[in-house]
Amino acid sequence: MKTTPKDFFFSVGAFAALYISAVSLLTLLFQYIDILFKDALDTFYDPYSGAIRFSIASLIIIFPLYVYLTRLINQDIRMNPEKKEVGVRKWLIYLTLFVAGATIIIDLIVLINTFLGGEELTSGFILKVISVLVVIGGVFLYYLYDLRGKWETSKSLSQTIGGIVSILILSAIVGGFFIIGSPQTQRLIRFDQDKINDLSSIQWQIVNFYQQKERFPKSLDELEDPLVGFIVPKDSQTGNDYIYNLGEGTLFELCANFNKESRGYAMGESRIVKPINSEYGYGLENENWTHGEGEACFERTIDPDKFPPLKR
């Protein structure tokens, strides 16, 4: 049967939405598995990563579009049975079956190869394999039955399956908000990250000042230098200055007020004490900036052997 522009764009749109939805759902499930079954070899994991946000956003927009276009296509075929033979639709179905089948085979090969290699089959790894089998296997079976005309004759079953899948995806999306929090929570976390970036920048400038002048600045205002273009940052959320206190010897303290606890914060901690031991003075280890909710102070001790005053 001749393919009309409507048939072409509806079919291409539906299958494109299918691929994006499947990839987004698997990405989301993999992120959840990484959080719930954290690998000891992973030294850092960001539960507020963009992968979770992007997957949720894609599913919210793309999956309903897929359901809508698929329903329109099935309704059109029920009214005009000859539309089942539209070329572009059949090509896309066979392509989808090929890709889904190949993915399932590769998934099983990876599982068996890992087992035969004597590697540990962790809970997280097994759950990822199962996730691929369930999601991609479901796509494979749906379109295999589609080729046999199952959904044209079983409208109620098609709608039931659509409803079940929609509920499962909605559950996956809702689960994401328990992990990354609401948009307002995300905004507060971004403010906290800005504060950490500011404190890290100030810390480096203090170290540089110490090396240049063999003393600590009396206040943060001394760090400002038009020649190098450094202006002491302020708290982007409140507009207030950051707190800087001098201690004994080569110790100083930087403080800020945070909205949320950071990853790895232990209940009851009031401050984190870390020497500056990075070659560049940043102390970029994430735990160096671990903080609780509210005011947190970070004590830093400069090691004179690693950061000696510069010879003039």
Between CA 72 and CA 84, with CA 78 as vertex, the angle to 5 degrees is: 85
Burial of 245 (0-12, 13-18, 19+ CB in 10 A): exposed
Is residue 2 pLDDT above 80, yes or no? Answer: no
Over the chain, what is the mean pLDDT? 82
Backbone angles phi, psi at 234, to 5 degrees: -110, 165
pTM score, whole prediction:
0.67
Render pLDDT for 133-164 as a digit per residue (tens, 0 to 9): 999 999 999 999 888 888 777 888 888 888 99
Render pLDDT for 220-279 as a digit per residue (tens, 0 to 9): 998 888 777 788 999 989 999 999 999 888 899 999 999 988 765 444 443 444 444 433
Which residue matches tokens 């507060």?
A: 188
CB 127 within 8 A of CB 33: yes
